[in-house]
Amino acid sequence: MKKYSIPTLLILLAFGVSLLAYYEIIDLYIQSVIMFIGINIILSSSFNIINGYMGEFACGHAGFMAVGAYVSSILNVALFTQDKVFGAPVLPESMALMFFPFSVIIGGIAAALTGLLVAIPSFKTRGDYLAIITIAANFIITSTIINISSIGGARGFMGMKTIVFAMEDVVDLPWMLIWVFVFTFLCVFLIRRFVTSTYGKGIIAIHQDEIAAEIMSVNTNQMKLVAFMFSSGLAGVAGALFAHILGYINPGSFGILKSTECLVMVYLGGMGSLSGSVISAILFTLLIEGLRFIIPAMDSGLHMVHLLPASYHLSQVWKWVFIPMLLVLLMQFRAEGIMGNRELSDIFPKLKRWYQFK
Amino acid sequence: MKLLEINKLSQYFGGLCALNRFSVDFEGGELRALIGPNGAGKTTVFNIVSGFYQASKGDILFGGKSLKGLKPHQVTRQGIARTFQNIRLWNDLTVLDNIRIAQHHKLGYGLWDNFLRTRHYLDREKTITRESMEILEALDLVQFVDELPKNLPYGIQRKVEIARALSIKPKLLLLDEPAAGLNSSDIKGLITLIDWIHKEFDVTIWMIEHQMSVVMSLCTWIQVIDFGSTIAEGTPEQIRNNPAVIKAYLGDDAI
């Protein structure tokens, strides 16, 4: 019973949401918010491997997301659609559905390989210097994409909507929603298995004392390689899903701002807490989307009490005042994040009776 | 075959000669001490043997095989474990995890076994947990398995660190100042512990120590170094009366 409670719950949730989406009870906007929650969960929990469990300070997660997004999109567009650059489709559109999970995984593998760009310097570098290297890696990736004009350069790349429509033509279901559910669950599951095994705990040992880890038989270089590649691979998966949800990507959306969002989510949730990452990803996405409505409401409220000059209106740009403000307050009053380095079951031990997650 | 053979080992840090033609032989089974004044180069010897530094000159043979160019984790795999002068446990992992992670070299399963939780993975994890528990039981640490090391008294932390080193099942155990920071009753316990470990686990022990009570009551052979060179070696009796040693510790005027 205990063993199956989480999978059952998740399957019911996925099934329920897909059903609601299928009968158009929830509109496209809510669907996209749910999908962004999924993507943010993948991003924050995978980033937590490096910044939380391994205790490095990396800040170029969006770069790997870009690699995954571009590789899977190009692959799908080149194989299944009529494109100016890649020419006629190679495979019939009806195969798009079967191929889609592979394209996401290939995107992830490509991102994992790009992760080497950060993993190899991390053997000898730590702390601030590694942070600089990761920012550089992020810039290298985005400026490389900008300079390849055949995939659109700075103008961006599109055509992924065709793939999504092709999948819906085969079986009429909200496919992107389903894939986001599948990959989010898979990702959290794999991370959980990784960090609870003695093998994966090697990276926690590196966090706490790298010299002791190396001398006590942990192959630190290998563990760093695995951790960086695993983390950036999952970021690639998130990127691949992101690209297909939006149907359009450009290098600008994978810049340092996106990496910062990932950082905020990790520190909001708590370093080294998987449930913290999941919770913070949900809260953060809801907060960003909520501000879309809160800011206009604040605007009219402030005008009503004549606190704002009539000619000035609060715009959505204020979002980037409120979110950093939240981070400042968080660091002041609860620097360890929502969960610290504990899991949900450590805080509420009674929950252990109801589920088991490993 | 000799267990450990260090031959004319020299180490330079820039222009500073930290270790000068240092040699030592272990047949296997001894309990020896390396002593000397502060900054004599004792920890440098341990750092070179455990692979943390690469020696500038000279060679180290362990069981007939050269340790040159091996990384610390590879040296550990050969059967050399060590503890540290300032305790280096993983403070936010439980005592049991501290022991389990030290088995990293013989996990015997890969990333895929880990993700898929295969039978092989479960078996190996079970074996490793069992072996770790055995070590903790042997050292009477079972009541602390779920504690975090940072919450334990200093003496227990020392013991956990020794347990972690022993869990690797080393042939040679390097103890870097095991008595540092302990009070006199803890030191008595430590002496019995080291003596017991030496007999029970059939391990060669080489320790650095400043507490003469520990060195004199445990070791059969003592080597004294100063400014990176060996100035004396012999039994505790010989060392106690050696003028060169007294001079190194107390200065010229003492004689």
CATH code of A126's domain: 1.10.3470
Rounded Cα distance between A344 and A274, Å, is 9
Long-range contacts of A132-139 (CB under 8 A, 24+ apart): A134/A58, A134/A59, A134/A60, A135/A59, A135/A60, A135/A256, A135/A259, A136/A60, A137/A60, A137/A63, A138/A59, A138/A60, A138/A61, A138/A62, A138/A63, A138/A254, A138/A255, A138/A256, A138/A259, A139/A63, A139/A256
**pLDDT value at position A49?**
95
Chain A residues 166-185 within an 8 A CB cutoff of chain B:
none
Which residues have CB under 8 Å from B185's CB, separation 6+?
A: none
Give the model's confidence band at A91: pLDDT under 50 very low, under 70 low, under 90 confident, else very high: confident
DSSP assignment, residue A122?
A: G
A303 lies in some domain? no
User: Across the interface, do A213 and B90 touch by the CB < 8 Å criterion?
Assistant: yes
User: Across the interface, do A204 and B90 touch by the CB < 8 Å criterion?
Assistant: yes
- Comparing alpha-carbon positions, the chain A residue that sits nearest to B87 is A212
Question: Each residue of B19-78: pLDDT tens digit?
Answer: 999 999 999 889 999 998 888 889 999 999 999 999 888 889 999 899 988 999 999 999
Rounded Cα distance between A330 and A347, Å, is 19
User: Across the interface, do B111 and A199 touch by the CB < 8 Å criterion?
Assistant: yes
- Comparing alpha-carbon positions, the chain B residue that sits nearest to A188 is B115
**Cα B145 vs. chain centroid, distance in angstroms?**
22
Q: Is A349 exposed, middle or buried (0-12, 13-18, 19+ CB in 10 A)?
A: exposed
Of the candidates B71, B82, B128, the beta carbon closest to that of A198 is on B128
**pLDDT value at position A193?**
92
User: Considering chain A, what is the average pLDDT of its residues?
Assistant: 90
Distance from A46 to chain B by nearest Cα, in Å?
A: 15
**pLDDT value at position A315?**
84
- Comparing alpha-carbon positions, the chain B residue that sits nearest to A341 is B92
Q: Please state the domain count of chain A.
A: 1
Maximum Cα–Cα distance across chain B: 70
Rounded Cα distance between B36 and B229, Å, is 10
Q: Is A193 on the interface with B (CB under 8 A)?
A: yes
Residue B232: other Cβ atoms inside 10 A: 19
Residue A193: other Cβ atoms inside 10 A: 19
Would you call A137 helix, strand, or coil by DSSP?
helix
The answer, yes or no, to whether residue A171 has pLDDT greater than 60, is: yes
Give the model's confidence band at A338: pLDDT under 50 very low, under 70 low, under 90 confident, else very high: confident
The answer, yes or no, to whether residue A321 has pLDDT greater than 60, is: yes
Rounded Cα distance between B205 and B174, Å, is 6
Rounded Cα distance between B218 and B193, Å, is 11
Q: Which of A212, A246, A234, A200 is nearest to A53 (CA)?
A: A200
Q: Which of A151, A153, A17, A198 is nearest to B105 (CA)?
A: A198
Angle at which helices A319-333 and A274-304 cross, to 10°:
130
Q: Which range, of A87-96, A233-242, A287-296, B33-42, averages the lowest pLDDT? A: A87-96
Give the model's confidence band at B253: pLDDT under 50 very low, under 70 low, under 90 confident, else very high: low
**pLDDT value at position A1?**
64
**pLDDT value at position A197?**
93
The answer, yes or no, to whether residue A136 has pLDDT greater than 90, is: yes
Among A105, A193, A198, A231, most B C-beta atoms within 10 A, so best to mutate, is: A198
Q: Which of A279, A283, A289, A179 is nearest to A237 (CA)?
A: A179
**pLDDT value at position A5?**
82
The answer, yes or no, to whether residue A70 has pLDDT greater than 70, is: yes
- Comparing alpha-carbon positions, the chain A residue that sits nearest to B49 is A215
Q: Give the structural domain span for B121.
A: 4-254
Q: Give the structural domain span for A143.
A: 2-255
**pLDDT value at position A350?**
81
Chain A residue numbers touching B101 (CB-CB < 8 A): 198, 201-202, 205, 213, 216, 218
- Comparing alpha-carbon positions, the chain B residue that sits nearest to A207 is B90
Question: Each residue of A179-213: pLDDT tens digit?
Answer: 999 999 999 999 999 999 999 999 999 999 999 99
User: Across the interface, do B90 and A214 touch by the CB < 8 Å criterion?
Assistant: no
Question: Each residue of B173-201: pLDDT tens digit?
Answer: 999 999 988 888 889 999 999 999 999 99
Residue with tokens 């989010």, as numbered in its chain: A184
Chain B residue numbers touching A233 (CB-CB < 8 A): none
CATH code of B167's domain: 3.40.50.300
CB B204 within 8 A of CB B63: no
Which residues have CB under 8 Å from A74's CB, separation 6+?
A: A86, A151, A157
Give the model's confidence band at A352: pLDDT under 50 very low, under 70 low, under 90 confident, else very high: confident
The average pLDDT across B140-150 equals 93
A337 lies in some domain? no
The answer, yes or no, to whether residue A238 has pLDDT greater than 80, is: yes
Give the model's confidence band at A228: pLDDT under 50 very low, under 70 low, under 90 confident, else very high: very high
The answer, yes or no, to whether residue B255 has pLDDT greater than 70, is: no
Rounded Cα distance between B235 and B240, Å, is 9
**pLDDT value at position A87?**
80
Of the candidates B90, B104, B125, the beta carbon closest to that of A217 is on B104
Rounded Cα distance between B224 and B250, Å, is 14
Bin A21: left if φ > 0, else alpha if -120 < ψ < 50, else beta. Answer: alpha
* Dihedral over Cα of A191, A192, A198, A201: its sign: positive
Rounded Cα distance between A206 and A200, Å, is 10
User: Across the interface, do A198 and B50 touch by the CB < 8 Å criterion?
Assistant: no
The answer, yes or no, to whether residue A317 has pLDDT greater than 90, is: no
User: Across the interface, do A190 and B91 touch by the CB < 8 Å criterion?
Assistant: no
Antiparallel, parallel or unpaired: β B4-13 and B57-62: antiparallel
Q: Which range, of A154-163, A325-334, B62-71, averages the lowest pLDDT? A: A325-334
**pLDDT value at position B254?**
54
Question: Each residue of B78-137: pLDDT tens digit?
Answer: 999 999 989 999 999 999 999 999 999 888 888 888 999 999 999 999 999 999 999 999
Give the model's confidence band at A358: pLDDT under 50 very low, under 70 low, under 90 confident, else very high: low
Q: Please state the domain count of chain B.
A: 1
Is this complex's ipTM strictly greater than 0.85?
yes
Among B49, B53, B73, B148, most A C-beta atoms within 10 A, so best to mutate, is: B73
β partners of residue B13:
B16
